[in-house]
Chain A
Amino acid sequence: MTHISDSRWLKSAAVVAYSLVILITTLAFYGLIGFDGAHLQVGLLTDPYILQILSFSLKQAGLSALLSVALALPVARALHFMPQLVAKKAFLSLCLLSFVMPTLVLITGLVSLMGRTGLITPILPNDWNLYGLNGILIAHIYLNTPLAIRVLSQQMAHIPDTSWRLARQLRFSRWQQFTHVEWPAIKPSLLMLLGFIFVLCFNSFAVVLALGGGPGSTTLEVAIYQALKYDFNLSEALTLAWLQFTLAGLIFALIARMGKLNWLSADTSSQRWQPVLGRRSQHLHRIFYYLSWGALLLPLLALLPTVSEAKLSNIDLPGLLQAAFFSLLLGFAAAILAMLLAWLLLIPIRRASLNRLENQRVVLQWLATHTLVAPAMVLSTGLYILLLPRIDLDHWGMCWLIFINSVLLLPFVIAQLKPRLLQFDLQYGRLSANLKLSISDHFSVIWPFIRSVTKGSFALALLLALGDVAVFSIFGNNTFATLPWLIYGYAGSYRMAEAALASLLLLAICALLVFIFERHQKTQTATSASDKMTRTPKND
Chain B
Amino acid sequence: MTEMIKLSGTDTTHSAAPETQGLLVDQLVVILDGYRLQYNLQLAAGECLAIQGRSGVGKSTLLNTLAGFETAKSGQVLWQGKNLLSLSAQQRPVSMLFQDHNLFEHLSVLDNLKLGFKIPPSRQQLEEAAAALDVADQLDKQPTELSGGQRQRIGLIRTLLRPEPLILLDEPFAELDQHTRRKAAHWTAATAKTQGKTLILVTHQDEDAERIADRTLELEYSHKKLGK
* Contact count band on B: 20 to 34
Residue of A nearest to B155 (CB): A431
CB distance from A318 to the nearest CB of B (A): 46
A residues near B195, Cβ cutoff 8 Å: none
A2-B88, A534-B144 known; A430 vs B98 contact (CB < 8 Å) = yes
A2-B89, A431-B98, A436-B90 known; A449 vs B104 contact (CB < 8 Å) = yes
CB distance from B108 to the nearest CB of A (A): 10
A2-B68, A2-B88, A540-B180 known; A434 vs B147 contact (CB < 8 Å) = no
In contact, A537 and B147 (Cβ under 8 angstroms)? yes
A441-B115, A445-B115 known; A434 vs B101 contact (CB < 8 Å) = no
Q: Does B11 contact A (CB under 8 A)?
A: no
In contact, A530 and B89 (Cβ under 8 angstroms)? no
How far is B107's CA from A540's CA once the two chains are assembled, in angstroms? 22
Residue of A nearest to B142 (CB): A530
Determine which of A434, A530, A533, A537 lies in contact with B96 in the assembled complex, contact meaning CB atoms within 8 Å: A434
How far is B89's CA from A431's CA once the two chains are assembled, in angstroms? 10
How far is B143's CA from A427's CA once the two chains are assembled, in angstroms? 14
A residues near B176, Cβ cutoff 8 Å: 540
CB distance from B165 to the nearest CB of A (A): 14
| Contact bitstring B124-146, A, C-beta under 8 A = 1, else 0 | 00000000000000000011101
In contact, A534 and B149 (Cβ under 8 angstroms)? no
In contact, B177 and A534 (Cβ under 8 angstroms)? no
A residues near B9, Cβ cutoff 8 Å: none
Residue of A nearest to B116 (CB): A435
A residues near B142, Cβ cutoff 8 Å: 530
A residues 55-111 near B (Cβ < 8 Å) are none
A2-B90, A448-B106, A448-B107 known; A538 vs B147 contact (CB < 8 Å) = yes
How far is B103's CA from A427's CA once the two chains are assembled, in angstroms? 10
For the A-B complex, the count of residue pairs with Cβ-Cβ distances under 8 Å equals: 84
Q: Does A284 contact B (CB under 8 A)?
A: no
In contact, A428 and B151 (Cβ under 8 angstroms)? no
How far is B175's CA from A346's CA once the two chains are assembled, in angstroms? 37
B residues 144-183 near A (Cβ < 8 Å) are 144, 146-151, 162, 175-177, 180
In contact, A431 and B175 (Cβ under 8 angstroms)? no
In contact, A434 and B94 (Cβ under 8 angstroms)? yes
How far is B89's CA from A384's CA once the two chains are assembled, in angstroms? 48
A residues near B177, Cβ cutoff 8 Å: 540
Q: Does A437 contact B (CB under 8 A)?
A: yes
In contact, B106 and A430 (Cβ under 8 angstroms)? no
In contact, A527 and B106 (Cβ under 8 angstroms)? yes
CB distance from B155 to the nearest CB of A (A): 9
Residue of B nearest to A426 (CB): B101
How far is B112's CA from A449's CA once the two chains are assembled, in angstroms? 14
Residue of B nearest to A445 (CB): B104
In contact, A537 and B69 (Cβ under 8 angstroms)? no
CB distance from B115 to the nearest CB of A (A): 5
B residues near A449, Cβ cutoff 8 Å: 104, 106
B residues near A430, Cβ cutoff 8 Å: 67, 69, 89, 98, 101
A2-B88, A435-B115 known; A538 vs B104 contact (CB < 8 Å) = no
CB distance from B66 to the nearest CB of A (A): 11
B residues near A445, Cβ cutoff 8 Å: 104, 107, 115
How far is B149's CA from A2's CA once the two chains are assembled, in angstroms? 28
In contact, A1 and B175 (Cβ under 8 angstroms)? no
In contact, B144 and A540 (Cβ under 8 angstroms)? no
A6-B88, A448-B106, A534-B105 known; A434 vs B150 contact (CB < 8 Å) = no
In contact, A530 and B144 (Cβ under 8 angstroms)? yes
In contact, A434 and B95 (Cβ under 8 angstroms)? yes
Q: Does B102 contact A (CB under 8 A)?
A: yes
Q: Does B207 contact A (CB under 8 A)?
A: no
CB distance from B46 to the nearest CB of A (A): 21
A residues near B180, Cβ cutoff 8 Å: 540
Determine which of B68, B94, B102, B162 lies in contact with A431 in the assembled complex, contact meaning CB atoms within 8 Å: B102
A residues 411-464 near B (Cβ < 8 Å) are 427-428, 430-431, 433-437, 441, 445, 448-449
How far is B180's CA from A1's CA once the two chains are assembled, in angstroms? 34
Q: Does B3 contact A (CB under 8 A)?
A: no
In contact, A433 and B115 (Cβ under 8 angstroms)? no
Q: Does B100 contact A (CB under 8 A)?
A: yes
B residues near A309, Cβ cutoff 8 Å: none
In contact, A534 and B143 (Cβ under 8 angstroms)? yes
How far is B107's CA from A44's CA once the two chains are assembled, in angstroms? 60
A residues near B68, Cβ cutoff 8 Å: 1-2, 433
Q: Does A358 contact B (CB under 8 A)?
A: no
CB distance from A528 to the nearest CB of B (A): 10
A445-B115, A540-B176 known; A433 vs B104 contact (CB < 8 Å) = no
How far is B170's CA from A434's CA once the two chains are assembled, in angstroms? 14
How far is B123's CA from A157's CA once the two chains are assembled, in angstroms? 43
In contact, B105 and A531 (Cβ under 8 angstroms)? yes
CB distance from B14 to the nearest CB of A (A): 27
Q: Does A539 contact B (CB under 8 A)?
A: yes
Residue of A nearest to B134 (CB): A540
In contact, A540 and B147 (Cβ under 8 angstroms)? yes
6 closest A-B pairs by beta carbon, nearest first, are: A537-B148, A540-B149, A435-B116, A538-B147, A433-B89, A2-B89
Chosen A-B contacts, 5 in total, with CB atoms closer than 8 Å, are: A2-B90, A434-B98, A435-B162, A531-B106, A540-B150
New A-B contacts (11) at CB < 8 Å, excluding given A430-B67, A435-B116, A533-B105: A430-B101, A431-B104, A433-B69, A434-B98, A436-B116, A527-B106, A535-B100, A537-B146, A537-B151, A539-B148, A540-B150
Write the residues of chain A forming the contact surface with B, with a CB cutoff of 8 angstroms: 1-2, 6, 427-428, 430-431, 433-437, 441, 445, 448-449, 527, 530-531, 533-535, 537-540
